[in-house]
Amino acid sequence: MRLETLRNCAVAACLVVLTVTTYQHLGNTSRRAAEARRSGPMSGPSADVGDRICIPGIDLTKAASNLVLAVEESCPASVRSARLLEAFVRRARRRHIPVYVVAGPARRLADAAAVNYPPGLPKPLAIKPTDLGIGRIPTVALLDSAGVVRRLQIGSAPEGEEDRTVDEFFSDGGNATEPLRSVTIEEVQAMRKRRESFQLVDPRAPEERPDVTPLSGALRIPAQDLGIRGPYELSGSSLIVVDCRIIGGFACQAALLRLRSSGFTRAAGLALTRMGESPLCGS
Amino acid sequence: MSMSLAGVISIVAGVSLTAAGLGGALPETPAIRLPTRTMLAKVARFALPTCPIGSTAKGFIIARVETRADGTVQTVSIEPSWDRNLENSPEAKSIQYLLKNWSFKPETLRGVPVMVRSRIFFYVDCHSPHPMIAVPGLTDTRKEAR
C-alpha cells in the first residue's frame, strides 16, 4: 500500500516537473517573441515614397492605384496592427482599389490562417516583404499604376486613431507625396558657407552612441520625440536636416516622417539610406 | 525498499525542480506602454506647476510615469536628457511632485484593468514675457502632440 502511494507520488512529481518545464519553455518563447516585437523583426531600410515596387505575377497597370500591405512575418499580428490594416482594406475596397498582402513564410502556411490572421485581410501572396524592398512591417503602401509608391504608412497607429490615420493616408492634400530627401555632408557644408537657413538635428537619445561627436550647431532632439518637440524647437520655414549617420536608416526615415506629419514639409536626412527600386523590378 | 527509495528521490527532485521552475517562470505582469497622445487622452485630474520667480529655464522636461491598475500614479521619474540643468531644475522637481497627484482613466486589456507606463512631455518656457509650463496635447492644443 505504502509502495503504491510512493509510486503515485513519484508519478505526480514527474508530471509537475514536466508541466513546469513546459510552462517555463513557453514563457521563454513568449518573452523572446515579445523582445522580437519590441525590436522589430525587420529593421533594414525600406522602400520610400517615390520608389518603384514590382510585384511578380501582378499587373499593377490594371488599376490607377494599388494598395500593398506588408504584414508581420514571424509573430502573430498584434491587435492594434490588425485593426489598422483592416481599416485600410475596408477603405480601399470602398474606393475599388485592389489590395495585395505580402507576408513571410510563416504567414503563408495554411495553418497560419487560423492563428491570429486578421479575418478582414485578403490571402497573402507568396512573396516576402523584403523581396519588394519593404524592410519594415507593418507597412502600407499606395502604388500608382507604374508601381511607384505614392503614400506610405509604416507601423501601427495609436488605439482609436485608425480611421484618422486611414483618412490622412488617402487624403489628396499636402506634400505627402514628395519623397524624403537625402543630403550629403558636402551639401551641408556648402549650405553653411552660403549661410543658408537650415537646422541640423542630432536624433540620438541621451544614452545612445555617446562615442559620436555631433556636428556643431546640431539640436539634440531624440528621433522618437521629434513629432512632439519639433513644433516647439524647430522653425517650420527653414530646412530641417536630420543626421541619419548616427542612427539607423529606418529610425531616420521614421523621424523624417514624424516631422512631415507635424507640418515640416522641408525635412531631409543627412546620408539617408534608401532602398530605391525593389530588386524584383528588373526581373 | 529500493522502489520506495526511488520514489522518495523522485519526489525530492520533483519538489526542488518545481520550486526552481516556479521561481523562474511565474507570469510577469508588466505595465503596458501607451503612446503619449493616448495617455493624455486618459488624464482625469491634473495640476501644473508655475515658473519659479527668477527662472529663465526653457526646454522640454520628460517625465516617465507608471500608473496602478486603478489609474492613480505609482511612480514618476524625470527622463535623462541632454540638458542636465533642466533635468535637475526646480521645475523638474515641481513636475515630479505634482505628477504624483495626477490620475488617469484606468486602462484595460481584455477587460482587465492593467498598469500603464508612458512618457509625458512638459514644455517649460520661463524665459518669455508670458512664462508657462505646458503639456503639448493637453494644455497646449495649438501644437498638437502626435
DSSP annotation of A218 reads -
For A191-229, write each residue's pLDDT tens digit.
889 988 889 999 888 778 777 777 788 888 988 888 889
Distances (CA, A) of A98 to A52, A277, B24, B97: 17, 21, 49, 54
Q: How far does chain A reach from its first CA to its final CA, in angstroms?
A: 76
Interface test with B, best of A1, A228, A229, A260 (most B CBs within 10 A): A228
- Residues of chain A in contact with residue B24, where contact means CB-CB under 8 angstroms, are 24
Residue linked to cell 552612441: A209
pLDDT along chain A (283 residues), means of 10: 62 55 48 40 60 83 85 59 85 89 63 59 82 82 83 78 82 55 86 89 83 82 88 86 81 80 80 58 54
Which member of B4, B27, B38 has the closest CB to residue A158? B38
Q: What is the pTM of this model?
A: 0.58
Grid cell digits, residue A159: 488605439
Distance CA A47, CA A241 (A): 20
| pLDDT score of B73 | 96
Distance CA A45, CA B24 (A): 38
B35 touches chain A (CB under 8 A): yes
Question: CA B132, A232, A43: angle at the middle one, nearest 5?
Answer: 135
Q: How far is B97 from chain A (nearest CA, A)?
A: 23
Measuring CA to CA, which residue among B141, B134, B65 is closest to residue B104?
B65
B84 touches chain A (CB under 8 A): no
| pLDDT score of B124 | 93
Contact (CB, 8 A) for B123 and A231: no
Distances (CA, A) of A269 to A131, A200, B105, B144: 25, 10, 39, 24
| pLDDT score of B118 | 94
The ipTM, to two decimals, is 0.74
Distance CA A90, CA A197 (A): 44
User: Cis peptide before A138, with omega less than 30 degrees from 0?
Assistant: yes
| pLDDT score of A163 | 83
Measuring CA to CA, which residue among A88, A113, A239, A107 is closest to residue A167?
A88
Distance CA B81, CA A214 (A): 15
Binary contact (A10, B14; C-beta < 8 A) = yes
Measuring CA to CA, which residue among B28, B27, B10, B29 is closest to residue B18?
B10
Measuring CA to CA, which residue among A95, A100, A93 is closest to residue A67?
A100
- Report the helix count and the strand count for chain B, using DSSP H and E: 4, 9
Distances (CA, A) of B14 to B20, B51, B143: 10, 62, 61
Please give chain B's pLDDT, 146 residues, in tens. 445 555 555 554 454 444 444 444 444 467 888 989 889 999 999 999 999 988 889 999 999 999 999 999 999 999 988 777 788 899 999 999 999 999 999 998 888 899 999 999 999 999 888 899 999 989 876 554 44
Residue linked to cell 543658408: A196
Which member of A16, A220, A228 has the closest CB to residue B121? A228
Q: How far is B101 from chain A (nearest CA, A)?
A: 24
DSSP annotation of A151 reads E
- Residues of chain B in contact with residue A227, where contact means CB-CB under 8 angstroms, are 145-146
Instruction: Classify burial at B11, counting beta carbons within 10 Å of its beta carbon; exposed 0-12, middle 13-18, buried 19 or more.
Output: middle
Q: Which helix (H) or strand (E) holds A9?
A: helix A2-39
Which member of A6, A225, A227 has the closest CB to residue B8? A6
Sign of CA dihedral B76, B80, B83, B87: positive
Which member of B17, B59, B121 has the closest CB to residue A20? B17
